[in-house]
Amino acid sequence: MSTDIDVDLVVLGLGPGGELLATEAARSGLRVVGVDERLVGGECPYFGCVPSKMVVRAANALAEARRVTGLAGGAEVSPDWGVVHARIRDEATDDWDDGVAVERLERAGVRFVRGHGRLVAPGVVEVGGTRYVAARGVVLNTGTSPDAPPVAGLADTPFWTNRDVLRTAELPASMVVVGGGAIGAELAQAFARFGTRVSLVESAPRVLAPEEPEASAVVARALSADGVQLVTGATIGSVAHADGRFTVAVTDAEGTALELSAERLLVAAGRRPNLTDIGLEAVGLDPDAGAVDTDLRMRAGERLWAIGDITGKGAYTHMSMYQARIALRDITGAEGHRAEYHAVPRVTFTDPEVGSVGLTEEQARDAGIDVAVGVAPLEESARGWIARAEGVVKLVKDRDARYLVGATSVGPAGGEVLSLLAAAVHARIPVSTLRGMPFAYPTFHRAVEAALEDLRQ
């Protein structure tokens, strides 16, 4: 026999968006239940953005110290993984304990339930024998889990995912990283800077394959300069683990067979949406669809909203929080913007960083847009040259509409330079207006001015 409890709203999964939405909904006076089977806040604070960016920050400090030679004299650098591990454990994650987050949620008035939740009918979620019957409805924010490719032998080995690598107290002497997406590229470079011997294996012809080829080329050079062995266009034949070492049999793009051996194997080959065990079929949705379809108010069905990675609109914390605010307005009947996806910004925190927004050149052409492209190497800008920085700004213009539909900025502050470009793409600012702006000298973002000039070619 299950118990029924009447509430206004159930938030199933408390990733960054769900936590925000549950908190704000409770503050607005709704009776809210928040359900999570793991840690309140989701992947980002405990196993994702925050700890990975602490690693990146520390690794970049090492790299910057090494740049003293040739710019300002000499510097001795002695990497100590223990320092960054202690920061992640003590400052970022409270030793992977969400007590503070739970208390914050409950102080806002949310009833927190730890456990695995499932939809059993429209507006009804069951957790451990209790059914929460929600008058307004249910918000899904169940996020993703690390996926592993179907490689022979892999499943039988103690490979790492992001959830292990960001908890480790010991720096591995060597590591093979499978996947040259954002997770793989960021962590491969950072660990190499700490002194781990890293091989990065990517099946696509280039790292950061969804980004502009110019961006991938800069990042590939940076990874190689940091000592990362890059194997792109790779096919992994098998993985084995014996005597404390992994052996990864790989065929590279030229068909050459390689055997990579390392103390650790990090699999960063994509994510699986947590959709198959949440009762989607009970509300008429397909659990195998790969994403939950939502309208521009984040509605996914009868008394149902979905936000975050499971919507397939960009697996980023800022998108989860953006969508949370939109869903919350719909639930509470407040006025405000609906979802717009033509200018989704994203930053890969390699050094140099890759910031991008909107469409790449290829995506714009595939969408049938008459495209003009402007490219400016960062090293040709005054600040790029002074800093000895490598990078690029690339602009994608819709010739008919005369505004930018996409942009990429790669450089030491590529993610920050992006803000100007994100505003331009989001607000569809005419290129002629951008050309009329003065650009402060000598900044990295002056490369935007040069790329605007290049658009004329």
Ligand X SMILES: NC(=O)c1ccc[n+]([C@@H]2O[C@H](COP(=O)([O-])OP(=O)(O)OC[C@H]3O[C@@H](n4cnc5c(N)ncnc54)[C@H](O)[C@@H]3O)[C@@H](O)[C@H]2O)c1
Ligand Y SMILES: Cc1cc2nc3c(=O)[nH]c(=O)nc-3n(C[C@H](O)[C@H](O)[C@H](O)COP(=O)(O)OP(=O)(O)OC[C@H]3O[C@@H](n4cnc5c(N)ncnc54)[C@H](O)[C@@H]3O)c2cc1C
- Positions touching ligand Y (CB under 6 A) are 12-17, 35-39, 42-44, 47-49, 52-53, 116-117, 141-144, 162, 183, 274, 278, 308-310, 315-318, 320, 349
Dist CA 314 CA 227 (whole Å): 31
The contact pattern for ligand X, residues 107-146, with x = CB under 6 A and - = no contact, is ----------------------------------------
Among ligand Y, ligand X, none, residue 116 binds (CB under 5-8 Å by kind): ligand Y
Given candidates 29, 99, 115, 149, which one binds ligand X under the rule CB under 6 A?
Answer: 149
CB closer to ligand X out of 131 and 163: 163
Among ligand Y, ligand X, none, residue 189 binds (CB under 5-8 Å by kind): none
What's the burial of 317, exposed, middle or buried (CB within 10 Å: 0-12/13-18/19+)? buried
Q: Is 202 in the site for ligand X (CB under 6 A)?
A: yes
- State the minimum distance, in angstroms, from the CB of residue 305 to ligand X: 21
Dist CA 392 CA 360 (whole Å): 14
Q: Which two tokens stand for residue 181?
A: 């997406």
What's the burial of 256, exposed, middle or buried (CB within 10 Å: 0-12/13-18/19+)? exposed
- Helices 99-107 and 16-27: crossing angle, nearest 10°? 30
CB closer to ligand X out of 127 and 266: 266
Given candidates 34, 179, 345, 358, which one binds ligand X under the rule CB under 6 A?
Answer: 179
Given candidates 31, 38, 271, 313, which one binds ligand X under the rule CB under 6 A?
Answer: 271
CB closer to ligand Y out of 33 and 376: 33
CB closer to ligand Y out of 98 and 330: 98
- State the minimum distance, in angstroms, from the CB of residue 136 to ligand Y: 19
The interface with ligand X within residues 282-341 (CB under 6 A) comprises 315-316
- State the minimum distance, in angstroms, from the CB of residue 355 to ligand Y: 11
Tell me the CB-side half-sphere exposure of residue 302, using CA atoms within 13 A: 11
CB closer to ligand X out of 198 and 369: 198
Residues 6+ apart with CB under 8 A from 223: 185, 188, 189, 192, 200, 207, 230, 350
- State the minimum distance, in angstroms, from the CB of residue 14 to ligand Y: 6
- State the minimum distance, in angstroms, from the CB of residue 281 to ligand Y: 14
Q: Is 351 in the site for ligand X (CB under 6 A)?
A: no
CB closer to ligand Y out of 37 and 263: 37
Among ligand Y, ligand X, none, residue 44 binds (CB under 5-8 Å by kind): ligand Y
Q: Is 409 in the site for ligand X (CB under 6 A)?
A: no
The residue ranges that bind ligand X (CB under 6 A) are 149, 151, 178-184, 186, 201-204, 209, 234, 236, 268-271, 315-316, 346-349
